[in-house]
Amino acid sequence: MPVDYEKYKKYVRDYDLTKIQGEELIQTVWKTMENFVDQAFGVHPVQQCLEYFPKDDLQSPAGRVKLFSLSNCFRCVAANCGD
């Protein structure tokens, strides 16, 4: 979702920042909050990626290897392997 800088610039006005620095700060906070919301609703890319892995016991070494080999998972999600 795009950031509405005009809506939030009043919150950075009191800081000694250039316009570009203020927009970068707003975008950084926006992206951070957006990631928290994505995680809360289960739409964060890592959560979507992990859906493709079998639910193994995380205590077993094999489960940990499968769970954290994310590069293969991202490739699979990008290619829509699960659909």
- Asked, for residue 14, whether it belongs to a domain, the answer is no
- Asked, for residue 37, whether it belongs to a domain, the answer is no
Say what the pTM is. Answer: 0.52
- Asked, for residue 70, whether it belongs to a domain, the answer is yes
CB 56 within 8 A of CB 62: yes
| Predicted local confidence at residue 59, as pLDDT | 55
- Asked, for residue 67, whether it belongs to a domain, the answer is yes
Round to whole Å and give the CA distance between 43 and 58: 22
- Asked, for residue 13, whether it belongs to a domain, the answer is no
Residue 53 belongs to domain spanning: 45-78
pLDDT tens, 14-62? 999 999 999 999 999 999 998 887 777 666 666 666 666 655 555 555 5
| Predicted local confidence at residue 16, as pLDDT | 93
- Asked, for residue 68, whether it belongs to a domain, the answer is yes
Q: How far is CA 7 from CA 18, 23, 43, 68, in A?
A: 17, 11, 26, 39
Q: For the chain, what is the domain count?
A: 1
